[in-house]
Amino acid sequence: MTARKLISLGLIGAGTMALAVPFAAHAEGFVDDAKVSLNLRNYYFNRNYLNGTDPVINGERQGQAEGWTQSFILDARSGYTAGTVGFGIDVLGLYSVKLDGNANTSNSGLLPEHGPAGNRNVPDDFGRTAVAAKAKISKTELKVGEWFAVLPILRADDGRSLPQTFKGAQITSNEIDGLTLYGGRFNGNSQRNDASMERMSFTNGTRFDSSAFNFGGGEYKFNGNNTLVGLWHARLEDVYQQSYVQLTHSQPVGDWVLGANLGYVTGKEEGSAKAGDLDNKVYQGALSAKRGNNTFLVGYQRLSGDTKFMRVDGASGGTLVNDGFTTSFDSPEERSWQVRHDYNFAGLGIPGLVLMNRYMSGSNIHTSGRSDAEEWARESELAYTVQDGTFKNLSIRWRNSSVRRDVGQDASENRLIFNYPLSIL
């Protein structure tokens, strides 16, 4: 029996158990439209703390955070069974092995960390399996279970060994051309360096747990898909509520392509207000200009209110235009800007090679009894994706960055990341 048939039978079996529907007579689309891939991710991380800002771990100054892992990310997605209502199943298998690293060089985010700073330990491996059942009628899909969810109002973080996943239910509808509507509820959170499933939470000095994260939103694309308007609202029950309005636009002008990403976020306490009174607003915008192999970008982000940008613990700050490798410039009252340049070396006859450099600076930070703290970050990424041959699609990324702060940790950082996606089915 071929590997394809074995995987197909496995998907049918998993789908039958998870959905309890009669697949036998309707499994054609379930199998034929199935896709299975295995991503081999090798991740090295090194952060050197400067100016005496390193934390104390197990009674000693840490000096640096360092780790090296080999991860295996299996992504198996079935098609849908035939019929008015189609059923399917998605399985995400996550496993990571420590190649190097220990408690005295923790804080890399690559591996789980157990125990307090004075007695911390790091396991040799970790992982989990996420399973989600799905049903589709017309152009509307219901998904229930656990998966890697990426929404403007809640973005799972995939910036280390394994991706963050959320457990819950979501409905997505595309019945009207150009309009996508979303709604759902998540009540579990497995962070990028944690094999366990925890409650949704928000940390603002102290961690506050919530029973669920409820959300709804919509995105409308028009003008030949060059323009998008998005509107979102979410509630982390009894902790915070947040709304987000976004406008993106891309406009060809001669040899140039001009882009804009504008957004407004507002948040406050919700329900019983476990975290107390909250107040946060974000005004932001990024303008880009692309010509040939060069892309230039400038961004500005302004926070107001007494609270930092509100997001579920562990989630990515990618909603913010000035979110970077080392910081999101999301402290209370912070104003930040960035300049960025991307170059595609295809223009020099090296397709697959790209270089990004950016500089970001933040000021007016209200924290630790100060109202004038500042920070800046310089970040570079050199990436190459193999274009053909045996190792086609293998990507190699080198990220180098430095961050300096008036309040907080100063650091210089290097990351080397290999991703090798293998298509199995």
54-63, 139-148, 149-158, 372-381: segment of lowest average pLDDT: 54-63
Q: Is residue 118 over pLDDT 70?
A: no
Predicted local confidence at residue 54, as pLDDT: 77
pLDDT for the residue 238: 98
CB 47 within 8 A of CB 3: no
Distances (CA, A) of 349 to 257, 345, 398: 22, 7, 21
State the Cα–Cα distance between residues 221 and 230, nearest whole angstrom: 9
Please report which residue ranges of 26-77 form alpha helices under DSSP H.
Answer: 28-32
Does the pLDDT value for residue 7 go beyond 90? no
Distance CA 29, CA 26 (A): 7
**362-420, pLDDT tens digit by residue?**
999 998 888 999 999 999 999 999 999 999 999 999 999 999 999 888 999 999 999 99
Q: CA 75, CA 132: separation in Å to the nearest integer?
A: 12
